Amino acid sequence: MHTECYPISTLPRLSRLFLDYAASREPLAPFYAASPYASVVAATHDGAQYATLTDFLVPQNRGFGAGEATLDNLGKLRAGAAAVVTGQQVTLFGGPLFTLLKAAAAIRRAKDAGAVPIFWMATEDHDLDEADHVTLPSRHELHTLRLQHSPEDAGKPVGSLRIGDSVRPLLEQASELLGPGAALDALQAAYTSEATYAEAFGHLLTKVFADEGLILIDAAGREFHRLGSRVLRAAIERATELEALLLERARLLGERGYEAQVLVSEGGSLLFLIDDETGARLPLKRKDDSAWIAGRKQLSTEDLLAILESEPERLSPNALLRPVFQDSILPTAAYIGGPSEISYFAQSQVLYQAILGRTTPVLPRLSATLIEPPAAKILAQHGLSLPQIMAAQPDELARQLGARILPEEGRKKLESAGTALDSELKTLTEWMARLDAGLGKSAEVAAGKMRYQMDRLKRLASEYQLQKESSLRKHVDTLYLNLFPERHPQERIIGAAAFLARSGEGLVSDLVELAGAECPGHKALFL
């Protein structure tokens, strides 16, 4: 397995907060409890404290098809092992590649620390547009497979929604794109029309990581919400205090030159309420310290506390409170997050301290581009690297490659003409500037236009050669399709199922090994 390591800043559109966190070998105080270079400290806990949790997790994981390795880890959890946790929203066919990268990082960190890996399935999220599709590649293009849903499903927790009959034609498309094999078999077994998103996603991840003992948790049910009720109660009873802490944290982030990942406004809250009539997940807002609004309904603080007592599953945390809620249930030694999640933690930190009296360390997930043999061959043929692909526009890169293959005679003529032009223009513009400053400025403008035309001649020659060598453009298109699709990192666009289908069962163990490699940035894995 050949790998290359690049700075995480190679990836586009990362926030300054995340980049500063990623570059620091000391915790970026006061926002984080650990630096990304920290090792996981997995102190043992009182097993009795988490016996009830384990009682709930065992049947849940058996329901997902858990095998011996996962059940062994559940036994360790009951006996006092700490957990390394990661998670994400449940999605069609397992979602993008970063699903595998998150799980692999949690597994590796857990192994190294003597902890158990847990994947938190964010089944209460209600953004169906993020969950109902997956993108799979064919040889020359990307295909987005999207489930059809009733308008009534909008706004409801995604995990509880049925997959439905519209999955059948999508499985047929997946069959054509992935081909026969274990990956397709796993999709077909998990994503049945009768299954919910939570059930399907859980079955798939359990199958993929069967040998690694990954524990899954779907905490949407009443029993888990009772375990985390302390956090939900604090969000109700201490809403004004917690809001003030978050507003102060947003101010401090701005003072340090950072942007808050989640906008916090006065009168908001940290909670959603499941409507008892429609099933929609509605944001709770505060009119004052004792009056709340969810959709068109008004509730008192007493109403919410009564719901918390009798139907706690109807109350769910928002993005800032969720990690605190999660870590009030689990014995978390560290959380493995992506760039956005890590940015959330800079705000969640004040909630951790106010509610739990501690802050969970957050560590970066594995960030990687998987380079399959055809793409690797093209990179080697043209002497290209992954950062060059990410830094250039496809047309620009194609012209650069075209320029490289110009006949030697033509390249020398263009270089000679360009050098001569630069030299003569420099002498001429300097002489005219000595005659008169205004004349010198006019000469610089005219010289710039001449240099532009010289560059245009070079581009014309490169494009002509590129047209003659049509394979070059095909090579460029292949690289961008597979390594930087739609000018986004591969890990965020292409479905994990595509790599499982093409690389086989060994891919998971390769990713777990890669997650332990000394590289604080973005990895290129040559398969």
Task: Supply φ then ψ for residue 220, to 5 degrees.
Answer: -75, -15
The residues with which 271 forms a beta bridge, in sequence order, are 317
Q: Which of 100, 101, 109, 93 is nearest to 174 (CA)?
A: 93
According to DSSP, residue 44 is labeled: -
Q: Please say whether the dihedral angle defined by the alpha carbons of residues 450, 452, 453 and 454, taken in this order, is positive or negative.
A: positive
As a whole number, mean pLDDT of residues 341-350 equals: 97
Q: How confident is the model at residue 408 (pLDDT cuts 50, 70, 90)?
A: low
Per-residue pLDDT at 527 = 92
Q: How confident is the model at residue 23 (pLDDT cuts 50, 70, 90)?
A: very high
Per-residue pLDDT at 411 = 65
Exposure of 426 by Cβ count < 10 A (0-12 exposed, 13-18 middle, 19+ buried)?
Answer: exposed
Predicted confidence (pLDDT) at residue 188 exceeds the cutoff of 90: yes
How many CB atoms within 10 Å of residue 176? 10
Q: Please say whether the dihedral angle defined by the alpha carbons of residues 166, 169, 173 and 176, taken in this order, is positive or negative.
A: positive
Q: Which of 187, 202, 156 is nearest to 63 (CA)?
A: 202
Q: How confident is the model at residue 425 (pLDDT cuts 50, 70, 90)?
A: confident
Per-residue pLDDT at 367 = 97
Task: Name the residue with tokens 């169906």.
Answer: 128
Q: Which residue type does 397 have?
A: L
The token pair at 354 is: 């106010």
Q: Which residue type does 338 have?
A: G
Predicted confidence (pLDDT) at residue 406 exceeds the cutoff of 90: no
CA distance 461 to 206: 55
As a whole number, mean pLDDT of residues 288-316 equals: 94
Share of the chain above pLDDT 70, in %: 97
CA dihedral 504, 511, 343, 38 (to 10 degrees): 170
Do 135 and 143 touch, CB atoms closer than 8 A? yes
Task: Name the residue with tokens 């090994």.
Answer: 513
Q: Which of 391, 400, 409, 382 is nearest to 459 (CA)?
A: 400
Tell me the three state secondary structure of residue 134: strand
Q: Which of 125, 102, 76 is nearest to 331 (CA)?
A: 76
Q: Which of 86, 52, 187 is nearest to 500 (CA)?
A: 187
CA distance 22 to 35: 7
Tell me the three state secondary structure of residue 22: helix
Do 92 and 196 touch, CB atoms closer than 8 A? no
pLDDT tens-digit map of 40-65: 999 888 878 899 999 999 999 999 99
pLDDT tens-digit map of 470-520: 788 899 999 999 999 999 999 999 999 999 999 987 999 999 999 998 887
Exposure of 478 by Cβ count < 10 A (0-12 exposed, 13-18 middle, 19+ buried)?
Answer: middle
Task: Name the residue with tokens 């496809």.
Answer: 394
As a whole number, mean pLDDT of residues 30-41 equals: 94
List the chain domain ranges: 2-228+318-367+506-526, 373-499
Q: How confident is the model at residue 410 (pLDDT cuts 50, 70, 90)?
A: low
CA distance 259 to 250: 8
Predicted confidence (pLDDT) at residue 467 exceeds the cutoff of 70: no
Predicted confidence (pLDDT) at residue 465 exceeds the cutoff of 70: no
Report CA 173 to chain centroid distance, whole Å: 25
CA distance 525 to 527: 6
Q: Over the range 257-294, which residues count as b (16 or more CB within 10 Å of their CB) and which as e?
A: ebebbbebeeebbbbbbbbeeebbbbebebeeeeebbb
| Number of Cα atoms under 13 Å in the Cβ half of residue 525 | 23
Do 198 and 91 touch, CB atoms closer than 8 A? no
Predicted confidence (pLDDT) at residue 415 exceeds the cutoff of 90: no
CA distance 512 to 506: 10
Mean pLDDT of the chain: 93
Per-residue pLDDT at 456 = 86
Please give the order of strands across the beta sheet that includes 297-300. Answer: 297-300, 291-294, 281-286, 271-274, 315-317
What string of DSSP letters covers 452-486?
A: HHHHHHHHHHHHHHHHH-HHHHHHHHHHHHHHSGG
pLDDT tens-digit map of 138-155: 999 999 999 999 999 999
Predicted confidence (pLDDT) at residue 331 exceeds the cutoff of 90: yes
